A and B are shown apart, each in its own frame.
Chain A
Amino acid sequence: MNCNVLIVDDSPILRMAIRKVVRLSGIEDDRIHEAGNGREALDVLETVWIDLVLLDLNMPVMDGEQFATELRKNPDLADVAVVVVSTEGNRDRLQRMRDLGVMDTLRKPFEPEDLHRLIGKVLGVSK
C-alpha cells in the first residue's frame, strides 16, 4: 500500500510493537516512520508526506495536543489524518483533540487487531 504512516510515541518498544501491526496492515516498512515526541514528528512531516499519524498524547518535549495544534496551524499539513493512540481518558482533553480534527481514538491497552482494523478504516482499505 502506498501510504506513509508516522508513529509518534515516547516509548521505543511500543513504537516497535505498533510498527509490527502497521506492517501487517500492508504498509511497507520503508513507509513507516517514527518520532519520540511531537517536536520530532513535526520535523518528520517537514521532509516526508504522511498519510496517517498514530499519535500518543503524554510525551515529553512536545505532547500530542501541542503537536496537533501546531499541525493544524500549517496549511500544508492541516489535512493530515491523525488518530490518537493513548491511555488518555480525560474527556475534556479528548474533546480538544476532536476539535483539532483528530479522526479517531484508540485507548491503550489495545489488541493488535484493534489497531489493524483502525488503520484499515482510516486509510480506506478493508482488511
Chain B
Amino acid sequence: MNTIDQTTLANMTINMLERTAMVLAEPAEPGADLPRATRFALVDYCGPSRGTLLLSATDGFLRELAASLLGVETSDVDVETHGSDALKEMANIVGGSMILALSGDVCHYSLGLPRLLGDQDVPLRDAGAATSVECTVVAEGSPLRVLWQDVRTAKAA
C-alpha cells in the first residue's frame, strides 16, 4: 500500500476542484486565520486497509463551488441543497482519487457512499489511526479542510 502525505492530499483536492468545477484553490498558509467549517461530508473505504475521508467546508466555499459547477451566480446558489450536495460529491471524487493513489497500479479498494454529517457527528482525529493526514485548501478566501484517516488491517500491516 502506498501512503499519502499532506502535499499529495492537497494536490489531489486542488486537482479535483480545478478539473470538476474550475475552482482555483491553493494550500492554506500555515497558521492562517480561516473561518470555521459549517458543513461536513464523510466517505469511507475498505480493502487492504480501511479508513475515512472527511471534508469540512464553509458556506462561502460551497457557494463558490456550487455556482461554478452550475454556471450560475453565487447569489443564485442554495447552499442548503446545492452546496451540501456539492460537498458530498467532492468527498466522493477525492475519495476515489485517494484509493487509487493508495493502491498504485491495481486498485483493490472499494469506496462507500458519501454522507453528510451534522456538526455534532463530526469524528475527532482518531488516535488509533495508523495514518492521519490533514490539509486545508483555500479558494476565494474560503477554506476546505480534508482529513484522511487510515486504519491498516492485520493483513495490510
Report yes or no: B106 in contact with A13, Cβ–Cβ below 8 A: no
User: A14 — which chain B residues lie within 8 A by C-beta?
Assistant: 69, 85, 89
User: B110 — which chain A residues lie within 8 A by C-beta?
Assistant: 90, 93
Q: A93–B100 Cα gap in the complex (Å)? A: 13
Answer whether A109 and B19 are a contact pair too, CB < 8 Å, given A13-B86, A89-B96, A89-B100: yes
User: A111 — which chain B residues lie within 8 A by C-beta?
Assistant: 19
Q: Told that A89-B99, A108-B20, A109-B15 touch, could you supply 18 new A-B pairs with CB distance under 8 A?
A: A10-B113, A11-B88, A12-B81, A12-B82, A13-B70, A13-B82, A17-B21, A58-B112, A87-B96, A87-B111, A89-B103, A90-B110, A92-B108, A93-B110, A108-B93, A109-B19, A109-B20, A109-B97
Report yes or no: B19 in contact with A11, Cβ–Cβ below 8 A: no
Report yes or no: A13 in contact with B93, Cβ–Cβ below 8 A: no
A: number of interface residues (CB 8 Å): 24
User: B97 — which chain A residues lie within 8 A by C-beta?
Assistant: 87, 109
Q: How many A-B residue pairs have CB under 8 A?
A: 70
Answer whether A107 and B96 are a contact pair too, CB < 8 Å, given A58-B111, A90-B107, A90-B110: yes
Q: A60–B92 Cα gap in the complex (Å)? A: 13
Chain A interfacial positions (CB closer than 8 Å to B): 10-14, 16-17, 20, 58-60, 86-93, 107-111
Report yes or no: B69 in contact with A13, Cβ–Cβ below 8 A: yes
Answer whether A109 and B93 are a contact pair too, CB < 8 Å, given A11-B85, A11-B88, A89-B103: yes
Per-position contact with A for B62-97: 1 when CB-CB < 8 Å, else 0? 000010011100000000011001101100110111
- Does B25 touch A at the CB level, under 8 Å? no
Answer whether A87 and B93 are a contact pair too, CB < 8 Å, given A13-B86, A109-B16, A110-B19: yes
A16, A17, A91, A109: the one within 8 Å of B106 (CB)? A91
Report yes or no: B96 in contact with A11, Cβ–Cβ below 8 A: no
Report yes or no: A20 in contact with B93, Cβ–Cβ below 8 A: no
Distance to closest chain A CB from B108 (angstroms) = 7
User: A91 — which chain B residues lie within 8 A by C-beta?
Assistant: 106-108
Q: A109–B93 Cα gap in the complex (Å)? A: 6
